[in-house]
A and B are shown apart, each in its own frame.
Chain A
């Protein structure tokens, strides 16, 4: 079976079943927001290790929600979208905080957030083109999101901060250009 057929069959199964948004996977996704207040507290007090720990927990919960969705069989288009929104809010907020407290260079952070907003806008357009709540699956962006989590970790642990922060926008622009064509120009798969 080709990958396209496999994805089509998974999508068909997901559409055929109605999954409540109040499910364990979405609860795990939502619980990621609980790591943000203690993260801010740690950054405010200059506790690097604690800040790293809270961001690590946030990243691990991101990995855990997919696992929970598979175990409880509650995968849904809304869940995927909610996960992407939680990624954007948690990591965007984390980047703003580390930049505001001088733990990371401001210019790359502004670039990353601007590119993140552009990515979000393209996903909205893609959803409108598809005519349903859907999330464009980008293998490259999945990896970039993991890198974003790491990026905040580099800032909280003062680990080669300038190097990692200045490389990131170039990688992000490359991925965004590729995804822009896929989301805005190429036909939307039914």
Chain B
């Protein structure tokens, strides 16, 4: 049941948020992992390459935080 000020039921809303957090974080993990792997052969003396590698690594960390948060919300962790 949804109340007047709710767009969808609380269960649907929470699963939507879980998809937005856990699902997107998992995809992000793969995406930035792939990006990081692609920069392995590039010249690390180049500051732009270093920026990209650092950015992708931080992306991996943030995505991991997201996945852990989604698992925590559902009582898995």
Find chain A residues with CB under 8 A from B1 CB: none
A157-B69 in contact given A49-B7, A143-B62 (Cβ < 8 Å): no
Find chain A residues with CB under 8 A from B59 CB: 139-140, 143
Whether, in the assembled complex, B33 has its beta carbon less than 8 Å from a beta carbon of chain A, the answer is no
A48 to B56, CA, bound (A): 32
Whether, in the assembled complex, A167 has its beta carbon less than 8 Å from a beta carbon of chain B, the answer is yes
In the complex, the answer to whether A140 meets B5 with C-beta atoms within 8 Å is no
Cross-interface CB contact of B14 among A7, A50, A140, A157, cutoff 8 Å: A157
Number of contacting residues on B, CB 8 A?
31
Number of contacting residues on A, CB 8 A?
37
A49-B13 in contact given A159-B21, A164-B69, A175-B58 (Cβ < 8 Å): yes
Whether, in the assembled complex, A3 has its beta carbon less than 8 Å from a beta carbon of chain B, the answer is yes
Q: Which of A50, A139, A141, A175 has the most CB of B within 10 A?
A: A139
Cross-interface CB contact of A182 among B8, B13, B47, B56, cutoff 8 Å: B47
Find chain A residues with CB under 8 A from B62 CB: 143-144, 147, 171
Find chain B residues with CB under 8 A from A78 CB: none
In the complex, the answer to whether A142 meets B55 with C-beta atoms within 8 Å is yes
A143 to B73, CA, bound (A): 22
The minimal Cβ–Cβ distance linking B71 to chain A, given in whole angstroms, is: 10
Find chain A residues with CB under 8 A from B55 CB: 138-143
**CB closest chain-A residue, reference B49:** A3
Find chain A residues with CB under 8 A from B48 CB: 3-4, 7
Q: Using a CB-CB cutoff of 8 Å, which residues 27-78 of chain A contact chain B?
A: 45-50, 52-53
A167 to B61, CA, bound (A): 11
In the complex, the answer to whether A53 meets B17 with C-beta atoms within 8 Å is no
Whether, in the assembled complex, A18 has its beta carbon less than 8 Å from a beta carbon of chain B, the answer is no
Q: Which residues of A contact B (CB under 8 A)?
A: 2-4, 7, 45-50, 52-53, 137-144, 147, 150, 153-154, 157, 159-160, 163-164, 167, 171, 174-175, 178, 182, 186, 189
